[in-house]
Structure 1
Amino acid sequence: MKLLRRGGSDESADHEVPVPEALPDGEAAAAAPKVTTGKGRPTPKRRDAETRRRGPVAPAPMTAKEARERRKAARKSQSKDQRKAAAAERRAAASERRNRMLAGEEKFLLPRDRGPERAYVRDLVDSRRNLVGLFMPLALLLIMSMFLGPVVQQYVTLAMFLLMLLMVIEGIYLGRLVNRKVRERFPDSAQGGFGLGWYAFVRASQIRKLRAPLPRVKAGDAV
């Protein structure tokens, strides 16, 4: 394409202006600059996204009655097989917790049994042969003696009175012993006094195989 000067002369040097050639549609689309546009909103956190997927969570029950009603409603919404599976799962979980409690794992123990001082007291009691351990067998013997003659009842009652007096004396001695041992082993501990002595007495009065947590030491072992 030629452009003429204003004077109409075409003798001057011509200036050619390049004209872009037309590209095919596919090449033109590929050559066009790509523009990335934002979503217009911030990316949600993973916790918020999971909450939206799960839906709203019901508030915790305020009373035991409300908790029972929720359990009943949940059972009604389940099939018979689902209820059996849930019951079996609950029994298995309860059995697992009990086994770990009997083994002495700290987080599965009852509040009264937690702490290194209480574990040490249990070991002290379990390592001794305590007279107070005869309390439950003697109570059973007293009940059985009621069906015997009055003369036998009299002798049994007298013998049990003497044994119970000895058990009280041993309980006082055991309470003082465990308090002294605990103060020596744990000088900075706040555990002690009547509560610790009563804890030792109650454990010593139980049959060895029925104690919970189970004994970790044998009778006669050094603690």
Structure 2
Amino acid sequence: MFRRRSHAEPETAEQSLERLQGESAVRDPQAPKGRPTPKRSEAQANRKTKVSVPKDPKAARRQARLRMREERETQRQALLTGDERALPARDRGPLRRFARDYVDARYTVGEFFLPSAVIILILSILPSLAIKNFSLFLWLAVILLIILDSVRVNMGLKKALRAKFPKENLKGVTPYALMRCLQLRRLRLPKPQVKRGEKVA
């Protein structure tokens, strides 16, 4: 038993060096790729993209049209139901949702702008000079009322937003709400989710 071990010759330093060099020459992990290994999620996404795109250009265009149509339909349904997951970026988030509810829960002068503009236009084309002067006065009155009401809504909304979201950036929320004030309630998108006079939580 001891004799068998004595027959095995120990590996010299030169032989060890040659063996290590031979192994490194056989396979260098960095040599074949020359780039970092992609993450698993990126590799899966690339693989799915490559598989899902058809080779035929007509089929690819048809598939893109179908995908865009489905996205538009999903977004339309979200605008009707108020589903946050599929809303456009400009309507998404708790701040925009609160601003919409704040406006939809009260009457505003701006929402009657379009009907009043139609009435004023009809009055302005009548032959009577007195009616034309009245329509001009009515037009100025409507504009003034809209400005005053917009200031009221702006101040009230800012106060409510600061109370509910004290640490959030409120940039762009009040202009978004004021633009909604100028739309007829039934034509607003996303559709109103609160009733008139309802307290906004």
Counterpart position of 2:147: 168
Q: Which residue of 1 aligns with 2:92?
A: 114
- Provide, for residues 158-212 of structure 1, a one-character-per-residue CA deviation record: whole Å limited to 9, x for no partner: 01211210110110110011000000011111115xx332222111110001101
Matched, 1:148 2:126: yes
Q: Which residue in 1 is equivalent to 2:162?
A: 183
- TM-score scaled by structure 2? 0.64
- Whichever residue aligns with residue 214 of structure 1, its letter is K
Distance 1:103 1:129 in 2: 22
Q: Is 2:80–2:189's contact at 8 Å kept on the other side of the alignment? A: yes
Report the Cα offset of residue 148 of structure 1: 1.1
Q: How many angstroms apart in 1 are the aligned matches of 2:164 and 2:147?
A: 26
Among the aligned pairs, what percent are the same residue?
28
1:158 correspondence with 2:141: no
Stretches of 4+ aligned residues off by more than 3 angstroms: 85-93
Listed as ranges, the gaps of 5+ residues in structure 1 are 1-44, 59-72
Q: Secondary structure at the match of 1:94?
A: helix
1:74 matched residue in structure 2 = 57
Partners of 2:100 and 2:177 within 8 A in 1: yes
**TM-score, normalising length: structure 1:** 0.59
Structure with higher helix content? 2
Deviation (angstroms), 1:141:
2.1
Check 1:189–1:122 CA distance in 2 against 1; reply closer, same or farther (3 A cut).
same
- Aligned amino acid, residue 216 of structure 1: Q
Whether 1:126 aligns to 2:109 is no
Question: CA shift at 1:104, angstroms?
Answer: 1.9
Aligned-residue CA RMSD in angstroms?
Answer: 3.4
Larger radius of gyration: 1
How many corresponding residue pairs?
Answer: 155
- Which of 1 and 2 has higher RCO (CA within 8 Å, sep 6+)? 2
For residues 94-113 of structure 1, what are the structure 2 equivalents within 5 Å? 94-113=72-91
Q: Which residue of 2 aligns with 1:15?
A: none
Contact kept in structure 1, 2:75 and 2:87, CA below 8 Å: no
Unaligned runs of 5+ in 2: 1-39
Report the AA paired with residue 154 of structure 1: N
